[in-house]
Amino acid sequence: MASLGLQMERLKEKLTRTKGEDESNLLEQEINSLQDDLAKSSSIVIVFSAMAIEAYIYDYAARHFGDNFVKDNLDKLDTISKWIVIPKLITGRDLPRQQKWFELLKNLIKARNLIIHYKTSDGPTASTDLKQYLKKVDAKSKFFHETARQSIGLLGILADKIAEIDPEETPWVQSYLT
């Protein structure tokens, strides 16, 4: 993913120095293609990172409390709540929420929800709205790309946090999240 972003930046720089219309059009097509690839890759990383995090925390609870207890009492919690409640129930220790992992997890879940629970919206109706619409689309793309990039680090951070409060869990958390 990082190399796609780097390729895009190089092409954008080259585009600013291009004088011919034909070459500009080709570069713009290449940039658009890379942007599409980056968006697809970001979506895949976000969805699968969230799945891994959700699968691990469910399994962690089920191995300690049993599958039926988890289904009946914990499974309806949202993912963030599970990461707060389940480690506390198992170890008696909190994962401190004032740390980077908590913000990264919130961003990952927000991005995953935007992808999975996509809501259509109307495009711009007037040319004055087009700039605002494109800014919004660009900001969303940047959010997805940054969240995807950070989610890979989040998996390792969560593995470390669980291993810190529950050292016996290290082999399990390492196999799920790293």
> What are the tens digits of pLDDT across the range 133-161?
777 878 888 899 999 999 999 999 999 99
Residue 149 neighbours by CB under 8 Å, 6+ apart:
1, 2
Band (pLDDT 50/70/90 cuts) for residue 24 is low
Predicted pLDDT of residue 124: 65
Cα separation, 9 vs 16, in Å, equals 11
Residue 82 lies in a domain: yes
Segments forming the whole domain that contains residue 142: 47-177
Predicted pLDDT of residue 75: 96
Residue 8 lies in a domain: no
Token code pair at residue 173: 């958390």
Predicted pLDDT of residue 26: 72
Q: 153: closest CA among 78, 103, 114?
A: 103
Residue 93 lies in a domain: yes
For residue 21, the one-letter residue type is E
Residue 80 lies in a domain: yes
Q: What is the pLDDT of residues 84-121, one digit of tens each?
A: 999 999 999 999 999 999 999 999 999 999 999 877 76
Token code pair at residue 175: 């196999």
Residue 51 lies in a domain: yes
Residue 71 lies in a domain: yes
Question: Given a cut of 90, is residue 71 above it in pLDDT?
Answer: yes
In eight-state DSSP terms, residue 78 is: -
Q: Are 173 and 163 in contact (CB under 8 A)?
A: yes
Residue 42 lies in a domain: no
Per-residue pLDDT, averaged over 36-52, amounts to: 93
Question: Given a cut of 90, is residue 58 above it in pLDDT?
Answer: yes
Number of domains, the chain: 1
Residue 1 lies in a domain: no
